[in-house]
Amino acid sequence: MWRKLLVQNGCGRYLSTCGSPSPPPMPPCDFVPQPYKGPDYSDVLRLRHERLNPSLVTHFSQPVLIDQGHMQWLYDHTGRRYLDLFAGIVTVSVGHCHPKVNAAAIEQMQKLCHTTNIYLFPKIHEFAQRLTDTLPGDLKVVYFVNSGSEANDMAMMLARLYTGNFDIVNLRNSFHGTSPYAAGLTAHNTWKYSFANGFGIHSASNPDPYQGLWGGHRDSPIQSVRAEESEVVDGVCSSTDKYIEQLNEVLEYSIPKGKLAGFIAESIQGVGGTVQFPLGYLKKAFELARANGGVCIADEVQAGFGRTGDHFWGFEGHDVVPDIVTTAKGIGNGFPLAAVVTTPAIANTMSKALHFNTFGGNPISSAVGIAVLDAIKEDKTQENCQKLGPYFLQKLAQLRDKYPIVGDVRGKGLMLGMEMVEDKNTRKPLNAQAMGKIWDDIKDLGILIGRGGHYGQVFRIKPPMCITQADVDFTVGVLDTVFEKACRNM
């Protein structure tokens, strides 16, 4: 069957006696890794099994033992080099071991490692101003925390305290953390444990232009094959009102009238598989949430800091200004750092009792955060995302048109996704065995890539924002080689 489909898709040349296309050469790099000095590979596997949290999963059938990193590159214990297209789960923003960021951390460690923010120290105040200056409107007060889960916990608390209401609405397929409080906001049963959580949280239908009920047009150079099911009028997709009606039903049937505490959404769903909403959806959702008494929370943990290319913050691409913004991951380029930014009026609710975070905004994390902002500007990483994103997507779209197992490619800037399917007509997710084999083969050719989506059927491409066009071409060549092999063997 796959041979027939490949020929129909113009892939007959790959079925000749010439065999599969040869994988392309990896782009050069002058960095020389240090010799590995850690425990044996077998000991690492044993210790992971015996001494670490058993819920920790490892990528690939033969896990990679990473020892060093340099910008977009990672090196295993043997010194083998990999192009990192997942960036520590969208966390390494300006590059592994970026010299400017490392230097800032070392300098601060040698001067003052830690004192709590009950004292005055300069870096936290400088960083607070630098960070809030990147945000629009009245988003001028920041709470520093240590992770995205903490940030979303805080955002929920702020929304409830400020409005005096309790109920919060999220979207199915969303991911907002795994701490006991934030776990209720995460709408994937693959991340759910059987314990009491999610009190007052209600999940609305996900407005997915590829897998959703009504398709839709999205803010991307490449549209879903289902875009033809809708039309765009004055910048708004016609499917948007249908998804908004689903959101309104949740408000009408599940929440006391006018008593919404908050609505939370990612600008582009990350763990859910790089899902973008139909044009105009988030703006109308925010309007509806506010009309029902709630505040609007933008989860920028993955989409912030220029990754989408056109804007510094992902929500800016939706023409909205949230009441609360949560951010983590890329803010620290791998250092544990996160933040909640809100308005003075909402922040004032926290003055009614004591609140404190021991490590939030500590001297080292603040120094790192400032250095990351500097590196983004000096290295022009946002501009790089804006330039390479459309190029990357066009190349991935060619693979979608070429192979029957590639159902959709999507995203903005360097926040991209590729959804794999059993059948393009039904959009049934590609089975786990085939996905795992393809994933392994990509790794074996020198690329580390992520996976997401409810069934793990989406390859997540979210590299450090310093990659080059040569890296993109290498990636597309590897994917071409692996997909051809996969189709041949099915």
* Number of domains into which the chain is organized: 2
Domain carrying residue 469? 2-72+84-96+381-404+422-439+448-488
| 43 and 152 fall within a common domain | no
- Mark whether 128 and 66 lie in a shared domain: no
Kindly report, residue by residue over 40-81, the tens digit of the pLDDT.
999 999 999 999 988 777 899 999 999 999 999 999 999 999
Summarised one tens digit per residue, pLDDT across range 399-412 is 999 999 999 999 99
Contact 35, 29 (CB under 8 A): no
- Provide the CATH number for the domain around residue 433: 3.90.1150.10
Is the Cβ–Cβ distance between 74 and 40 less than 8 Å? no
109 and 44 both lie in a single domain: no
Contact 280, 307 (CB under 8 A): no
31 with 145, same domain: the answer is no
* Burial class of residue 63 (count of CB atoms within 10 Å of its CB; 0-12, 13-18, 19+): middle
348 and 400 fall within a common domain: no
Please list the alpha-helical segments (H only) found in 96-147: 99-111, 122-132
pLDDT in tens, 444-457: 999 999 999 999 99
Average pLDDT over the chain, rounded to whole?
Answer: 94
CATH number at residue 371: 3.40.640.10
Q: Is residue 412 part of a domain?
A: no
The verdict on residue 415 lying in a domain is no
353-410 pLDDT, tens digit per residue, is 888 899 999 999 999 999 999 999 999 999 999 999 999 999 999 999 999 999 999 9
Q: 27 and 133 share a domain? A: no
Taking the CA atoms of residue 108, residue 114, residue 117 and residue 122 in that order, the dihedral angle to the nearest 10 degrees is -20
pLDDT at 4 over 50: no
Residues 314 and 192 in one domain: yes
Q: For 136-193, what is each residue's pLDDT tens digit?
A: 999 999 999 999 999 999 999 999 999 999 999 999 999 999 998 899 999 999 888 8
Query: Which one is predicted more confidently, 260 or 193?
Result: 260
The verdict on 267 and 158 lying in the same domain is yes
* pTM of the shown model: 0.94
Identify whether 12 is part of a domain: yes
